[in-house]
Amino acid sequence: MRLGVNIDHIATLRQARGGLEPEPVFGALIAEASGADAIVAHLREDQRHIKDKDIFLLKEVVNTRFNLEMSIAPEIIKVASKIKPDQATLVPERRRELTTEGGLDVVKRQKKIGQAVKKLEAAGIEVSLFIDPEKNQIRAAKKTGARFIELHTGAYANARTKAEENKRITELKSAVVFARGIGLKVFAGHGLNYNNVSRVAALKEIEELNIGHAIISRAVFSGLGRAVGEMKDLIK
């Protein structure tokens, strides 16, 4: 199973002081050297952490795979089509949210999302849709023409009891099997950390886990290279 490291919160630290450090691109290089299989960054419309310039630099230096999380806003699609990351992951976005709060509602927005998928693929960019582990959303994702999905693991990560955790893992497993059965490749992420990642990593049909906040948080104390290596060991 591959590990994608989200470096957004390196940029969050930088923006807290409005200066130049820490530099997200340096973080990407350290993560790759420590075993990351992909680098993930979310270019929000308000550019609250990752900026346009970060995306251009990341495209130049990332040697593994560059996965750009993004909304379907026309201006963001325009930037992505110019930069041409290896992959674009389409996510919902609200200005007031602290972090992404759920998956895309592909059922309700299938036409617009499908148009975005078509534009990005025409630019040579592979497209993944970040969705909740629900069969109706998976079916709709398939109809957009996307070949990849990333299952939102937030409900599992936020489970308060063992019974709820077991229920959420069962839902994830069912969603993964269903998605693979209709020809989609499956990634997963959101809220995963060093204490809860193992049960999701045990779902072998998932090809990649994308994790950011937990890795950057641990890096404050242990260093980024060690934090990435420890997560990589856990998902193996």
**Annotated catalytic residue 42:** yes
Per-residue confidence (pLDDT) for residue 196, from 0 to 100? 98
pLDDT score for 158: 96
For residue 133, the model assigns a pLDDT of 98
Q: Which pLDDT score is estimated for 94? A: 63
Annotated catalytic residue, options 42, 93, 134, 150:
42
Q: What is the pLDDT of residue 173?
A: 98
Q: Does domain 2-235 have CATH number 3.20.20.70?
A: yes
Give me the residue spans of the domains in the chain. 2-235
Q: Which of 32, 69, 93, 208 is catalytic?
A: 69
- Cα(141)–Cα(114) distance, rounded to whole angstroms? 8
Q: According to the model, what pLDDT value does residue 179 have?
A: 98
pLDDT in the model for residue 35: 98
Q: Is the pTM higher than 0.85?
A: yes
Catalytic hit among 9, 49, 152, 190: 190
Model confidence pLDDT, tens digit, residues 152-201: 999 999 999 999 999 999 999 999 999 999 999 999 999 999 999 999 99
Of residues 96, 79, 97, the one with CA closest to residue 88: 79
Active site residue 49: no
Low-confidence ranges of the chain (pLDDT < 70): 93-101
Q: Is 207 a catalytic residue?
A: no
How far apart CA 168 and CA 162 sit, in angstroms, is 10
pLDDT at 127: 98
Helices (H), the chain: 8-17, 24-33, 52-61, 74-83, 110-122, 135-143, 154-157, 162-181, 197-201, 213-222, 224-235
Cα torsion through 84, 87, 93, 99, rounded to 10: -120
Q: What is the pLDDT of residue 211?
A: 98
Give the chain's end-to-end CA distance (angstroms, integer).
6
DSSP structural state of residue 97:
-
Alpha carbon 160 to its chain's center: 23
